[in-house]
Amino acid sequence: MVNSIIEKIEAKRAGENIPRQHLGLSEIGHKCPRWLWYAHHNTPSKPIEGRIIRLFRTGNIIEDAIISDLESIDIEVTDRQREVEIVNGDIVLKGHIDGIVSGQLLEIKSASEKYFKQLLKVGYEKWNPKYKAQAHVYMVLCDLEECMVVVENKNDSNLYIETLKLDRDYVTKLLIDVFAAITLPEPPERICPDVSWYESKCCKYQEVCFT
Ligand code: SF4
């Protein structure tokens, strides 16, 4: 009975998921150019499990809670989920910001205890290059010079807050590299030496990449 309930929930949530059909701005910091190419070219990927969909939902719930916490101390959050985009010829890359607070972009994340401890050691930008890319590109698109990142530990609800300063040179290089990769006629070289490589094992394009 219990197992069948869990299986039904997982199947239901997995079935409701609509896979993203394009490369999103939140993903352009992915370290693999081939991954970026697959995402931009709408390549079929491994379906996302229902459990992971529910994990994303938990992230959204935490985001709402943090915004409520900020507002509870009279920090106004505007522009929630505002769409931003980069247009380059016929390519349009879109994303959604978490919000704007006091003239700063707002980025909210959540992390497991183990991952949160890494953040405390290295700081936001070294902690997750994808998150770094997302924050800096969004700052440019919102014409903002700073970003307040708020990360919540999912195990004990501890908060981490850091202010990032916009690095325009970094964004320029990032976008040049991203557009160079996604506009190639064929997928770029693999970064994984073989299918058993650790980054391949958790890649949603593993199958197509090594077929
Ligand atoms: S399997 Fe490795 S090389 Fe292939 S797309 Fe994924 S990360 Fe890139």
H runs (alpha helix) in the chain = 2-16, 33-40, 50-72, 113-122, 124-127, 129-141, 168-182, 198-201, 206-209
Ligand 1 pocket, 191 CB below 6 A? yes
Confirm or reject: Cβ of 205 under 6 Å from ligand 1: yes
**Domains located in the chain, CATH noted:** 2-209 (3.90.320.10)
| Residue 149: closest CA among 94, 95, 93, 111 | 111
pLDDT at 21 exceeding the cut of 80:
no
Find, among 174, 176, 113, the residue nearest to 139 by Cα.
Answer: 174
Could you tell me the distance, in angstroms and rounded to a whole number, from the CA of residue 178 to the centre of ligand 1?
Answer: 15
Q: Whole-angstrom Cα distance, residue 166 to residue 208?
A: 36
Q: Give yes or no for residue 41 having a pLDDT over 90.
A: yes
| pLDDT band at 72; cut points 50, 70, 90 | very high
Helix 33-40, helix 168-182: angle, nearest 10: 60
How many angstroms separate the CA atoms of 79 and 135, rounded?
Answer: 15
The pLDDT of residue 125 is 98
Query: To the nearest whole number, what is the mean pLDDT of the chain?
Result: 95
Q: pLDDT exceeding 70 applies to what percent of the chain?
A: 99
> By mean pLDDT, which of 40-54, 64-78, 84-98, 161-175 is the weakest?
40-54
Cβ(138)–Cβ(93) under 8 Å? no
Q: Is residue 12 scored above 90 in pLDDT?
A: no
Which of 1-10, 21-30, 79-88, 160-169 comes out lowest in average pLDDT? 1-10
Q: Report CA(34)–ligand 1 centroid distance (Å).
A: 6
Report CA-CA distances (Å) from 178 to 76, 106, 173.
34, 24, 9
Average confidence (pLDDT) over 67-83: 97
Of 166, 167, 22, whose CA–CA distance to 93 is shortest? 22
Q: What predicted TM-score, i.e. pTM, was given to this entire model?
A: 0.93
Residue 196 CA, ligand 1 centroid: distance in Å: 11
* Share above pLDDT 90 across residues of the chain, in percent, rounded to a whole number: 85
